[in-house]
């Protein structure tokens, strides 16, 4: 990272607790701009909690978060967010195009209706994820992979500088997974910063530049090959760590 370049994300002394039990403990993270970074760790490690704390969706017990050197509230428009698909009410009566247009409200404000240019931009984003032909399809009638692509298009229309995505590969077919990976790498190549909660350690080296390895505490952050080691995996996953590490090496 250029010494003059502001970090895309800086997290200092972050602690989050539920009912006085720490879910994240004293986390320090600095992510340079223009990297594709996976957030990995076992179930209950605090991966989704980390995203929600960064985005102000839950209040930490302690700590500070800066996006490009400012608080999230000041740089909100620089941020795109794709939550877990399972957290969304897919029975809500709306179509794919309208879901994507929701990503424009941060720029338009809630009381200004999207215009022709907004609709054209939404269609362009749907084309990028291979969903232009489904623009008028009710979201409840889309497959899991198609719904995830629509959500990605909604994030794209925000034209953010940094994207946070919570398990975008869960429940999608191989074709959609490949399309998502290509899209994430395109965003990275355009200078965007992307952080993804991810669970498949086998694909880390192919998909990501950096990894953040968590299990309540931060175990490691940096280039994938430096962080995903047998020793680190043993700390993160306990007795299974060596087994996982050996599987990754074969």
pLDDT, tens digit, 9 for 90 and up, residues 134-187: 999 999 999 988 998 998 999 899 889 999 999 999 888 898 899 899 999 999
CA-based end-to-end distance of the chain: 32
pLDDT, tens digit, 9 for 90 and up, residues 201-225: 999 999 999 999 999 999 999 999 9
pLDDT, tens digit, 9 for 90 and up, residues 66-108: 999 999 989 988 999 988 887 777 778 889 999 999 888 655 5
Asked if residue 2 has pLDDT above 50, the reply is: no
pLDDT, tens digit, 9 for 90 and up, residues 228-244: 999 999 999 987 766 77
């Amino acid at each position: 990272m250029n010494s003059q370049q502001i970090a895309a994300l800086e997290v200092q002394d972050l602690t989050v607790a539920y009912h006085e039990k720490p879910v994240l403990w004293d986390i320090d993270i600095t992510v340079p701009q223009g990297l594709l970074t996976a957030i990995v760790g076992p179930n209950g490690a605090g991966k989704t909690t980390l995203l929600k704390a960064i985005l102000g969706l839950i209040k930490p017990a302690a700590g500070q978060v800066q996006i490009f050197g400012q608080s999230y509230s000041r740089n909100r428009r620089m941020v795109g967010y794709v939550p877990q698909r399972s957290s969304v009410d897919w029975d809500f009566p709306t179509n794919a195009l309208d879901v994507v247009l929701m990503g424009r409200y941060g720029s338009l404000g809630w009381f200004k209706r999207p215009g022709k240019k907004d609709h054209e931009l939404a269609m362009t984003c749907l084309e990028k994820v291979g969903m232009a032909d489904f623009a008028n399809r009710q979201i409840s009638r889309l497959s899991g992979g198609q719904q995830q692509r629509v959500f990605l298009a909604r994030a794209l229309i925000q034209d953010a500088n940094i994207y946070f995505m919570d398990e975008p590969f869960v429940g999608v077919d191989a074709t959609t997974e490949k399309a998502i990976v290509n899209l994430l790498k395109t965003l990275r190549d355009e200078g965007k910063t992307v952080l993804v909660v991810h669970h498949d350690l086998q694909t880390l080296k192919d998909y990501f530049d950096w990894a953040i390895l968590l299990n309540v505490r931060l175990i490691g952050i940096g280039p994938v090959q430096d962080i995903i080691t047998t020793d680190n995996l043993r700390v993160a996953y306990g007795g299974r760590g060596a087994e996982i590490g050996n599987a990754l090496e074969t």
